Amino acid sequence: MEITENKEYIITIDSVSSDGSGVGHINGLTVFIPLAVTGDTVQVIITKLKKHYAYGRIIKIIKPSSWRTAEKCPHSEKCGGCQLSHINYDCQLKIKKEIIENSMRRIGGFDKFRLDGITGMDTPYHYRNKTIFKIGNKDENNNICGFYERKSHNIVPIEDCIIGSKLNRTINKAVIDYMNNCNVSAYNEKTHKGTIRHIFTRVSFSTNEFMVVISANAYTLPNKDYLIANLKNISNKITGVILNVNTKKNTPLLGKKNIVLWGKGTITDTICGIQFYISPESFFQINPIQTEKLYNKAIEYANITHDMTVMDIYCGIGTISLCAAKYAKKVIGIEIVEKAISDAKKNAELNNIKNTEFYADSAENIVPELLEQNIKPDIVILDPPRKGSDETTLSAIIKAQPKRIVYISCNSATLARDSRYIADSGYTISKAHGFDLFPHTIHAETIILFEK
């Protein structure tokens, strides 16, 4: 049977891919189908045909999988934020576990790799402490707020999000009301004109403080008092309104300059009994409930004693460093972002922790310098961004010859690649566990213990 684009076929779904698409086959050709799940029988139309695979779109679900569940989000068919919200949560965990294990076997070459488990949430909703909503418009008089549509930059209007704070809905309405009544325009990516780009909120799960950040293509906001009054009237939980200046094209979601319009420029949250100052640009895990479980497991794997030196690479604002400090002789935190290191030092002071040192530099620079000073880490903990670590950093770690390496990763593919390098350098995987910090999305965290 010849397979062609824009033609309909009936497919049974065998598995779920690493991007959350259902995977089925037609005459041996692999077809990726968004919003399908293992066990579905679906009628699809082929939307794109490649030499060795194709993409399809569901026309009709002929026989639904037992893994399916009634969706709580009305936007899931279009919104690109959550890839698995149509799937029973227990089955989401099975999918994530399988993706991690497959990556480690296929990419890393660890044929017998198994997680000892994956820890999910009891209530996998409203868990995010940070949410960024995109601002745009359908026409001149119709400003909208939401997230990008799947695989596009079209905005799906969403005032609320079932994985974000319940207060976001009211905040978003207040900002849109301000824009409409004060004639403040939405930013246009194509023309680089307009003012408001994003609504960015952060909430502390321990203090209930709420930060509202308006990302704008401007150094000031017209009629800002109207906006501040709107937001202050919502809740006394809102403790700060901040303007984030983002005037460049094709930049990250936030610019580097923050102007406090009202209240405080930071909030405070607590992880594992340690308090942290959090600014708009701070890296702080978005799911504090699961983060505490993850960090406790990292400390367990590290098995730190009071005569040990711990090195925390990619330390950010010092979250893991400060959690480890109460068990160690010394903790050395390394992070290339200077502002993060400044925050880490402030957080150490906030908690009266004195056995930490923080360096704003790369590991490949700092680790050899420390070795020359006869400072050798007994334990290395690393929690890199999605792109993973790099060979120069890993090489520096291996030269230090720590007893144990604890690697935390949010990307199983780069984790597998880096794990291969570590294993080939004389270390063995002793333990591995998964943590779901991102329910209803395809992402998960993995923690691996390497020992000599």
Contact status, residue 438 vs residue 85, Cβ threshold 8 Å: no
* Selected catalytic residue, list 91, 145, 323, 410: 410
Tell how strand 8-16 and strand 22-26 pair up: antiparallel
Beta strand 267-271 with 428-435 is unpaired
Closest among 302, 312, 323 to 397, alpha carbons compared: 312
**Which contacts (CB < 8 Å, 24+ apart) does range 223-229 have?**
223/178, 223/182, 223/184, 224/261, 226/178, 226/181, 226/182, 227/174, 227/175, 227/178, 227/182, 227/261, 228/261, 228/262
DSSP 129-177: SEEEEEEEEEETTEEEEEEEBTTSSPEEE-S--TTS-TTHHHHHHHHHH
| Burial call 138-153: b when 16+ CB within 10 Å, e when fewer | eeeeebbbbbbebeee
450: which 2 tokens? 């390497």
- The string over 166-195, giving b where at least 16 C-beta atoms fall within 10 Å of a residue's C-beta and e elsewhere, is ebbebbbebbbebbeeeebebbeeeeeebb
CA–CA dist 12, 22 (Å, integer):
9
Best CA proximity match to 10, nearest among 21, 25, 20: 25
- Please identify which residue in the block is written with the tokens 């003012």: 195
161 is an active site residue: no
Distance CA 376, CA 63 (A): 59
Cα-Cα-Cα-Cα dihedral of 417, 421, 424, 430, to 10°? -70
321, 365, 377, 310: which is closest to 344 by C-alpha? Answer: 321
> Maximum CA pair distance of the chain?
71
Q: Which amino acid is at 374?
A: N
Q: Any idea which residues carry the catalytic annotation?
A: 410
